Amino acid sequence: MARKGSRSTGSLARVLGLVTGAAGLAGGLLLALILLGNLSGAIANPDAQSRGMTIGLVFAGIAGLIAGAAGYVFGGRIVARITDIGLAVSKIGRGSSEVKVRVGGDDEVTALGRAVQYLAGDLQAMMAQQEQASGALAVAMDPLVKQLRDRTMPQRLPAVAGYEVDGQLAPGSRGGLDYFDLVSVAGDTPTNVAYVVSAEGQGALAVVACKLARDEIHRALLQGALPRKALAHANKVCKNTLPQGVCAKASLLQIGPEGCKLYQAGMRTPLLICQRGEVLELNAEGIALGLDDGPVFEKSLRPQEIAMSAGTRLVLGNDALLRSAGLLDLLRTHSPRHTQMFMNVVLGGIEQDAGDGGLREDVLLLTVKKAGQE
């Protein structure tokens, strides 16, 4: 809501005050000169003429002050009304539609305020309709999406030598669309890759894109591809299969004996590094899967290497996890615990903070901890 009863003494009020004051002074001087010119022939005494000139100048000055003060006050009232409208427009620009504008009067400023108020009302109604439609779509698709996703969700992640790994998904009432898993990649130098794949947007195309990206990444890793090659393959398939502009997001964590390497394609959800009571955020560069034919995608992939000392824990998750209240405090407090206990306490704390209604969105938590103590 715009501030009620605001008054402005900004530049517009000052300018209006100066202009009206100058006009009043000039008018007073002109009137004084005309009167003195008409009376000078009737008054022969030079002293009387001088006093008349002084009195005329004083009255001209008073007229200028009165006119300037009136202009200043009047301008302040206009500016206050414009300021209220400006605050309302700023709130609308920040996404809020709950604004109130004072529309008393019958002038152009009032008409502008009334138009802004009508705009806010229309936006509020439109946002309510969109939220209702979006909620209905999510609820209608939720059983199908869960069924599609749960068929490929791992019941338990494979063990990784020298690390504690685990991943879980806490279901929400409106569901979500995120996949996770850990694949042991065979080859000359065996390695392990944990991944999170998420949808970009909502609707049937987002479901198809996310499932397609997950399946292609998983298949490429099983065939021995490292993260960069697996992402390049998935991107090519998505680009050739999906309609233009439809894409998916992915984070891949390559786990090595001494450290890890993070790859991200369009995913802006950071990797969280828990170490010595601190939680650091880390992002890698890369564009989403399915937006580019290949050269730009591969060139944009810039992984981040992470040195892993004993006790260092890495946390990957979806957007719902990062939005959870109190997440960082939970990570700082419980990161040193054994991973199974860590998962139970963190997810339990998030579900408890969600209140009686429970989680609205699925919360995905995937963690990798270097075995040993800090």
User: Tell me, what's the pLDDT at 3?
Assistant: 35
**pLDDT tens per residue, range 187-205:** 777 899 999 999 887 778 8
User: Tell me, what's the pLDDT at 62?
Assistant: 81
User: Tell me, what's the pLDDT at 7?
Assistant: 40
Q: How far apart are CA 362 and CA 118, in angstroms?
A: 37
Q: CB of 259 within 8 A of CB of 306?
A: yes
User: Tell me, what's the pLDDT at 59?
Assistant: 73
pLDDT at 79 over 80: no
Amino acid type, 134 = S
pLDDT at 312 over 70: yes
pLDDT at 317 over 70: yes
Quickly state the pLDDT bin for 254 (edges 50, 70, 90): very high
User: Tell me, what's the pLDDT at 218?
Assistant: 96
pTM (two decimals): 0.63
Residue with tokens 């109190």: 326
User: Tell me, what's the pLDDT at 276?
Assistant: 86
Which of 24-28, 202-206, 298-302 is least confident?
A: 24-28
Start-to-end Cα distance in the chain: 51
Percent of residues, the chain, with pLDDT higher than 70? 80
Range ranked top by mean pLDDT from 50-59, 198-207, 329-338: 329-338
Residue 185 φ/ψ region, left for φ over 0, alpha for ψ in the -120 to 50 degree band, beta for the rest: beta
**pLDDT tens per residue, range 82-111:** 777 777 776 666 555 566 666 666 777 777
Can you point out the beta strands (E) in the chain?
163-170, 178-185, 191-199, 248-255, 259-265, 271-275, 278-282, 304-307, 313-317, 363-370
Which of 64-73, 284-293, 304-313 is least confident?
A: 64-73
Q: How far is CA 89 from the centre of its chain?
A: 19
Give the pLDDT mean for 282-294.
Answer: 92
Average pLDDT value for the chain? 81
User: Tell me, what's the pLDDT at 57?
Assistant: 72
